Structure 1
């Protein structure tokens, strides 16, 4: 995929925000599954775009652990996993945006 545009990043940011809602607004299990799939897809794209940036090293380590580990078992496992993905994707967006602003 080509480098993300600002509009692409805004769409992913909206996805992150939809995932990082308070417990009282927790999505249904079906919605969490959909959010997780979208976060995994977009996260892969972003990971390839920030791989060369030193500031992304921590996010990339977290990404690899999350991507290969999957959610923990238990009643909150899927939601906690989706939220961890969202925080990591959010960090990659932050790094990518900072890099664009520096150019």
Structure 2
């Protein structure tokens, strides 16, 4: 985890977070090993903490349905955690990465406005 990935940092490197998402969402034939899945999941949790705070700082009616849906998805993921089974941790990591991508895309558009 880099300094740009700490939840309380004033700067979050959205490009680095996007790269983490790319790796987490790589095709199943290039599935990361269990140790990397655990590492990527931890990085996604850290990034999501900071990203969610920034997204939630915007009024809900300005965020749009996709972003608001991603916030609800994140809440559900946090409550449930990964499911049991051989692909539970991998599927959970991928779900976190999809939510992260929505937040990153939204925050990038906010920077350009």
Normalization by structure 2: what TM-score? 0.82
Q: 1:4 and 1:100 mapped to 2: Cα distance? A: 13
Q: 2:20 and 2:72 mapped to 1: Cα distance? A: 21
Deviation at 1:64, TM superposition (A): 0.9
Q: In the alignment, is residue 38 of structure 1 matched against residue 43 of structure 2?
A: yes
Question: Which whole-Å deviations, capped at 9, do the CAs of 1:48-95 have from their partners, x for residues lacking one?
Answer: 001125232111111111122100111111100000000000000011
RMSD: 1.4
Gaps of 5+ in 1: none
Q: In the alignment, is residue 27 of structure 1 matched against residue 32 of structure 2?
A: yes
Tell me which of 89, 94, 97 is aligned to 2:100.
Answer: 89
Deviation at 1:3, TM superposition (A): 5.1
2:88 — aligned with what?
77
Deviates more, 1:48-57 or 1:59-68: 48-57
Cα separation, partners in 2 of 1:3 and 1:60, compared to 1, 3 Å: farther
Q: 2:71 and 2:103 mapped to 1: Cα distance? A: 8
Q: How many residues align?
A: 100
Deviation at 1:4, TM superposition (A): 4.0
Normalization by structure 1: what TM-score? 0.90
SS of alignment partner, residue 75 of structure 1: coil
Q: 1:4 and 1:43 mapped to 2: Cα distance? A: 14
